[in-house]
Structure 1
Amino acid sequence: MSARVVTISAAFGAGGPVIGPAVAGRLGLRFVDRAIPELVAGEIGCTLEEALAHDDRAESGIGRILAGAARLPTVALGMDVYFPERAIPLPEEFVEHTESVIHRTAERGGAVLLGRAAAVVLAGHEGALHVRLDGPRERRLARAAAEMPAESGRAARTRTPDRDVERMLDDNDRARTAYVKHFYGADPADPRLYHLVIDSTGLPVPATVELIVVAARAL
């Protein structure tokens, strides 16, 4: 019997946004990523922008705040984190609703879920395959740079400079790690959280997809 739920935790530059949909297509499942903060926003009654501000995959969100606070020795990482001049729910409410969306998605037909500590949230879910995509920093940097869209009106060779890609990779790594550690006391790179850990920077995308599909069908 094939797994009806596949969670994918992907380090920045490890190809999660490409590999996830491909796995979903092979398994005949939905790919769920952007839909999660949209559903959370609808449930809480806030804007999508406010929900994204608390999402682990947002360019600017709670993970960035936690990661920034962790670098300051005088800042406590308690749940007193707040957003000035914004009357919106506390971060833990967004996380609670995110967990609820993940559980409902798993129970109602399944899906391939990207990010948001889904492997931790669904650790006890029967029939779920948990996958981690990672790779050496230099190869993740190369992949991220290659996937960056060219600036409007300029040739493809004028992609984001390496130093900017490095900053993006480091910021994303810190933020996603801070999110999982703060709310779940876990390290997203811990191999014990997953059935399958793949260096997706060292394999072609089709091979990575095939490994995950085979594992899901064998579960």
Structure 2
Amino acid sequence: MAGGSADAAAALLACDTLWGVGLGVEGLHEYAARLGSDVNFALIGGTALGTGRGENVCAALTSGRYEWVVVQADGGLSTPAVFRELDRIREGQQVPAPESSAEMLAALRAGESAAVAARLDNDLEEAAFSLRPELRSVRDAGLMLGALGGLVSGSGPTIAFLASDANSANDLAAALVNSGAATRVHTARGPVSGATVVECEDRP
């Protein structure tokens, strides 16, 4: 889930700090965009709206905390292969230009987990399901076991479920494992900050 992008954002901020360049997070965005589409978001964190290929990010006004259950699938899924499969699925179709969802932004402002879950969407999901049909089974199992919503994260193969609260997230994680639907399951809470310099005491 953008682990390389998060590492890249941390490395950029670390170099800026260690070398005393003084660009700060805002000044690093140009360099982040050259490294990858997700790096800019990893610099600012929180909840953000991305445009372009994802490198143009601006913070979104949100409230509340969101409890997630994250399922790691066995094996990987090639991002280029997923995009090729999406092109195959969409061949001959008129695809509208992407636009931000006013309903999703309103739900985020209100901090309503159920409303956010109802608007979760990922254009790459069907392509990921096509290449790895078992992912659909995991998604469906999570929804049946009580998740408010669930979707493939990015190009997959990780699947993220939104729960109503921390207890529900823990219950869902346990149910996914106990049912045999998943083995590598984690809980997470968001939003969280982006790359940050942490002060620590000198060690002998």
Structure with higher strand content: 2
Verify same fold: TM over 0.5. no
TM-score (ref. length: structure 1)? 0.26
Structure with the greater relative contact order (CA < 8 A, sep ≥ 6): 1 or 2? Answer: 1
Structure with higher helix content: 1
In terms of Rg, which structure is larger? Answer: 2
TM-score (ref. length: structure 2)? 0.27
